[in-house]
A and B are shown apart, each in its own frame.
Chain A
Amino acid sequence: MSGVAEPRRSAPCARPGSSRKAFRAQGALLQVLFVALLAFAGHAFAASGAIEPLPFKDHAQEVRFQNLTKQLRCMVCQNENLADSNADLARDLRLEVFQLMQQGKSDDQIKQYLVDRYSDFVLYDPPLKPGTWLLWFGPLAILLAGGAVVTVAIRRRNRGGGTIDNDKPADGGQAGNEPADMGDDW
């Protein structure tokens, strides 16, 4: 276990206080149970505090906010994004992002603001720079290297076939020779 603690969270689950009566009621029908479960679910959702209402100017701003916070990592629960995380710090950072948006900052400016404090790690999409070339181009380089190996192997095999064909003078100028000609480039 790493010893880093995270700020206190609100209880993620709610206690089924009010719905208990529904269970106890005589002849509790399935419907009642269903309604009680719905109420419980709603209660649990509200208590999780995952989505606190922010006073967005309009729907477009809300969409932009959601889109932006989905691209940012929660530093406490590192496999969660800011939009989904229930951690205390994530809530603070959502508020920070919201306030920066109110100040008229662009998405890039807001990202840079967080990168300046928390490093590139806050971005789910790593930026392209010398330090990340291996990350970005590594797979392509491996694919190209593999392709080159396969190409060389195939050409060699074909050239091998070509020489066998060339042993038979009658075949000269036919299909068997073409790969051999291509092979001369190597």
Chain B
Amino acid sequence: MKRLIPFLVFALLVGLFGFGIWWNSWHDARYVPSPLIDKPAPDFALPKLDAPEQTVSKASLLGKPYLINVFASWCVACAEEHPVLMADGRRLGIALVGYDYKDVPDDARRWLREHGSPYDLVIADQPGRTAIDFGVYGAPESFLIDAKGVIRYKHIGPLTPEVIARELQPAIDAVKREAP
């Protein structure tokens, strides 16, 4: 038995090494859990993309849950995500707020004209200042905000049908049960 100990320690180290390889081969090193989950969404007041003279604020959106989807016309992954939102956006049963991030308004408008808009409302953050409050570090990102203005779920990267079915839809259902 005693002679087995060095071998067991060796096997343990091999196991640890194997775990490291396995873990790094599938988990997304870029994924950083947001510290904002279950915290009130930051206050914001941003112009509408189509009518810059009108401002949309957090207060004006209170009362109903909604999904903020950060996108930009320059963002390649957003174009990847876009057809998913076009196909499944309506079925989410929740207002979709497009958040145009660090974009030229004309480019964004053209992009939405060409690809179609899955959004009920689009707000524009050209300087990207408000996005810092939301902890945005890359587009696309999606924030589920409940009727009380609390961030309940965040997804970084393109929404896919799998992510929607596995994570987003259950989160939306939970939020809607609280405030129909």
| A interface list, Cβ under 8 A from B | 2-8, 75-76, 78, 88-89, 92-93, 96, 115-119, 121
Contact = CB atoms under 8 A, between A and B. Distances in A.
B111 interface: no
B135 A117 contact: yes
Contacts of B135: 117-119
Given A4-B77, A6-B138, A118-B135, A92 B128 contact: yes
A5 B78 contact: yes
Contacts of A121: 32
26 contacts: A2-B28, A2-B30, A2-B157, A3-B157, A4-B30, A4-B77, A4-B138, A5-B72, A5-B74, A5-B76, A5-B77, A5-B138, A5-B139, A7-B72, A7-B128, A7-B138, A7-B139, A75-B32, A76-B137, A76-B138, A78-B29, A88-B128, A93-B132, A117-B132, A117-B135, A119-B32
Given A75-B137, A117-B134, A8 B35 contact: no
B50 interface: no
Contacts, number: 74
Best-surrounded residue of B35, B75, B137 (most CB of chain A within 10 A) = B137
Interface residues of B, number: 33
Contacts of B137: 4, 75-76, 89, 118
B106 interface: no
Nearest to A1: B77
A149 to B, nearest CB: 9
Given A3-B77, A4-B77, A7-B128, A118 B102 contact: no
B32 A118 contact: yes
Nearest to A3: B77
Contacts of A5: 72, 74-78, 138-140
A64 B128 CA distance: 25
Interface in B12-36: 28-36
Given A5-B72, A88-B102, 5 more contacts: A76-B138, A89-B128, A92-B129, A96-B132, A116-B35
A139 to B, nearest CB: 14
A96 B72 CA distance: 22
Given A2-B30, A4-B77, A5-B78, A115 B35 contact: yes
B173 interface: no
B74 A8 contact: yes
A134 to B, nearest CB: 14
B156 interface: yes
A43 B139 CA distance: 31
Contact of A78 (B30, B35, B129): B30
B121 to A, nearest CB: 23
A118 B30 CA distance: 12
A121 to B, nearest CB: 5
Contacts of B101: 7
A117 B77 CA distance: 23
Interface string B65-102: 00000001011111011000000000000000000011
B118 interface: no
B38 interface: no
Contacts of B158: 3
Best-surrounded residue of B81, B127, B138 (most CB of chain A within 10 A) = B138
B133 interface: yes
| Closest CB pairs A-B (n = 5) | A75-B137, A4-B138, A3-B77, A117-B135, A5-B75
